[in-house]
Structure 1
Amino acid sequence: MDWSRVKDKNIYIDVNISKMNEIGARIIGGKEADPNSVPYMAAVLVNGNVFCGGSLITRSWVLTAAHCTEEGSYARIILGAHRPLQIESTQITVTSNNIINHPRWDSTRLIHDIALIKLPSQVPDSSIIHPIPIAPANSGSFAGVTGLLTGWGYTSDQTPGLSETLQQVYLQFISVEECREYAGILAHETNICTSGFNGNQNVGSCFGDSGSPIVADGVQVGVVSFGSRQCALGSITSYARVSSYADWIESYTQS
């Protein structure tokens, strides 16, 4: 595999940075995850050259972002990885050409940015590779709740490129109204946002790849969709709100 050809597919927007200090410090911290401590985490390589994150939500299905897979004819899924650019004994790699983008995905409005990938067969269940439940349709807003975001994305503006190791960061969800102060009309009810500003340092939105999961209270709450263009300035990361799509997801995963 020629990893030099691989690129991310992150979406960035210009945000209202004048509102930034009103949120204040909301994150706990960012660091390298302990190896194989996030058993649902998936690396998703689309068409051999687009890298995104994803999550194993059943033994046969991976959840990711539609903007990652919208032009995809196949996806290579790496499970059980800490260093996905290397071969590790814990890894399982499968290839799927069964990609299902949400039918209402809108790349202009950045809405319904969610997709499913069906694996060719069930993967073995273990402590290293294990699905994460999705947030049910009747979930609340999660505003004020802390979630765990994981991914292999940029660790700063100064060091663009994939992180060699899985990164993690704790972030606090904010309300849709608060998110609209930054993202304006792009903050939809079917999205959920976190703050990534902590004093003079952002350790949030740069860590997560597009498609990566954010988890709270033992369920997946969001799928990374877009964030601030100026990563080092902090601000928000926006996710597809998983509970808004629970019925759509389960129409495939439970059929």
Structure 2
Amino acid sequence: MRTLPKTTLSKGLISLCLCLLFIHLQSLDALRLHGEPFPAQAAISLRSSARISAEREGRITGGDLAALGEWPWIVSVQNQFGFDFCGGVIIDDVWILTAASCVSGLRARNLMVLVGTLSSWNNSALHYFVDQIHVHCNFDKPLYHNDIAMLRLTESIKYNKETAKISLSEVDELQEGDKLSFAGWGTTTAEGSRSQYLQQSQGNYLSVDKCRTALGETEDVDLGHVCVQMEKGKGICYGDTGGPLINSQGQLVGIGNWGVPCGRGYPDVYARVPFYHDWIRTIINGCGKV
């Protein structure tokens, strides 16, 4: 039997370690934090985990396991190796809505989405490749604003009882205290690993003014955002960026943007979908730039 040279084995072990480190860091960074690089950068670069651990407290984010078909329009946004790093939502046959911070700077050919599954590691679930990435032209202008993007798939999605497109909330009629629900495959604790199975939770709508105050009078929240106040110990965490926020009618009202991880009692911030209706229609009608 032929034996590989020691140098070849060493290079192979180094490559394997780098790959595992990449996967670990990617799973940690997939929530946009105040003052931090955005999630897409975790998918294309290696960074030290020391900076990340200093920002964390080991609090449970308090989600519940979702049932199959309960969130038929949610997708797992993954790299070409099948590792998920963000969420997204089916809004039309070939269109996925997600956060710009999830995909800005990435190549479409290196992305795919997994649909109709509770498990982000489900090899039998349908996956679709991405043909185009449309990032809002004013993303991060100013910082933390217009964090929304659309992915055009290479083929139409096949709908069934586990896979469907969501209706967009057409009119912004949210009232203080309204119940809003969200879901994702993010970490279930600030120090934990990614959840293999879809988690869901609920919070209450918080007005822009009250949200700004709760976040230290920040200017990084405006009318283009939706804020959700959770109980302490609950909230979005690493990996939930780009995921859906829905109202009691099951309509899409927000896309996960940024937050203070994880479950510390601060409001979570989403892109307000009705605010971007014109932009979404423009992209679907073929008038946007790739």
Which category of TM-score, normalised to the shorter sequence, fits these structures? 0.7 to 0.9
What are the equivalent positions in structure 2 for 1:6-21 lying under 5 Å apart? 6=23, 7-8=26-27, 9-13=30-34
Unaligned runs of at least 5 residues, structure 1: 15-28
Unaligned runs of at least 5 residues, structure 2: 1-18, 36-61
The aligned counterpart of 1:17 is none
Aligned residues: percent identity? Answer: 25
Out of 45, 51, 76, the residue aligned to residue 43 of structure 1 is 76
Structure with the larger helix share: 2
What are the equivalent positions in structure 2 for 1:19-98 lying under 5 Å apart? 30-46=63-79, 48=81, 51-74=85-108, 75-88=111-124, 91-98=125-132
Q: Does 1:205 align with 2:270?
A: no
Q: 1-side partners of 2:279 and 2:79: how far apart?
A: 22
Q: Which has the higher contact order (CA 8 A, sep 6+)?
A: 1
Q: 2-side partners of 1:143 and 1:72: how far apart?
A: 37
The aligned counterpart of 2:203 is 171
Helix, strand or coil for the counterpart of 2:219?
Answer: helix
Larger Rg: 2
What are the equivalent positions in structure 2 for 1:203-242 lying under 5 Å apart? 203-206=234-237, 209-216=240-247, 217-229=249-261, 231-242=262-273
Q: 2-side partners of 1:4 and 1:34: how far apart?
A: 31
1:107 CA displacement: 6.8
Helix, strand or coil for the counterpart of 2:253?
Answer: strand
Structure with the larger strand share: 1
- How big is each residue's C-alpha offset from its partner over 1:40-88, in whole Å with a ceiling of 9 and x where there is no partner? 0100024656610000111210000000110110221100121112323
Asked whether the 8 Å contact 2:84–2:120 carries over to 1, the reply is no
Q: Does 1:250 align with 2:278?
A: no
Asked whether the 8 Å contact 1:135–1:242 carries over to 2, the reply is yes
1:30 CA displacement: 2.7
TM-score normalised over the length of structure 2: 0.74
Asked whether the 8 Å contact 2:181–2:246 carries over to 1, the reply is yes
Helix, strand or coil for the counterpart of 2:209?
Answer: helix
| Superposed CA RMSD | 2.2
The aligned counterpart of 1:155 is 188
TM-score normalised over the length of structure 1: 0.84
- How big is each residue's C-alpha offset from its partner over 1:162-188, in whole Å with a ceiling of 9 and x where there is no partner? 101000001111100111013311111
